[in-house]
Amino acid sequence: MGLFSKIVDRIFHHDQAKAAPAAPATASAVAPVAPAPAPAPTPVPVDVEAVLTSMAEIEGGGGNWRSSIVDLLKLLKLDSSLEARKGLADELGVHVGEAGSAEQNIALHKAVMKKLAENGGQVPDSLYR
């Protein structure tokens, strides 16, 4: 799984980890009856800005995730090292400036936001243009 896939997973599925109920402990050896499967939810575009803002509030700030790829990755609790960012840049085809330079980091942040929008996220233009 590439770093961008992890970014998508953390943003698009952030509530699922909290919403999944713990399996109740049962004392009987009888297998429980499985409930009827729920209908598949209608895909709803994820408001990326709202999710990240909420995560930043929970974390006590989130740094400057709106423009910093390093702060964005840290907010998502992902590797923000130079090596990780080099890999992400290769994954997204971002080859602007020297690896780790401000120029590349800005281009990488914009590329991540644009790619999130292309993958069903609602991302304000101000975050990637």
Output the pTM of the full model: 0.79
Q: What is the pLDDT of residue 17?
A: 47
Q: What is the pLDDT of residue 1?
A: 82
Helix (H, G, I), strand (E, B) or coil at 47: strand
Q: What is the pLDDT tens value at each position of the chain, 129 positions in all?
A: 899 999 999 999 987 544 444 444 444 455 555 565 655 555 689 999 999 999 999 999 989 999 999 999 999 999 999 999 999 999 999 999 999 999 999 999 999 999 999 999 999 999 988
Measured at the CA of 68, the angle between CA 70 and CA 10, to 5 degrees, comes to 60
Query: 10 near 78, Cβ under 8 Å?
Result: yes
What type of residue sits at position 94? V
pLDDT at 29: 52
CA-CA distances (angstroms) from residue 117 to 34, 55, 128?
Answer: 37, 18, 9
**Angle (CA) 12 65 87, round 5°:** 75
CA dist., res. 113 & res. 28, Å (int):
50
**In sequence order, what are the residues at sequence separation of 6 or more whose Cβ sits closer than 8 angstroms to the Cβ of residue 110?**
127, 128, 129
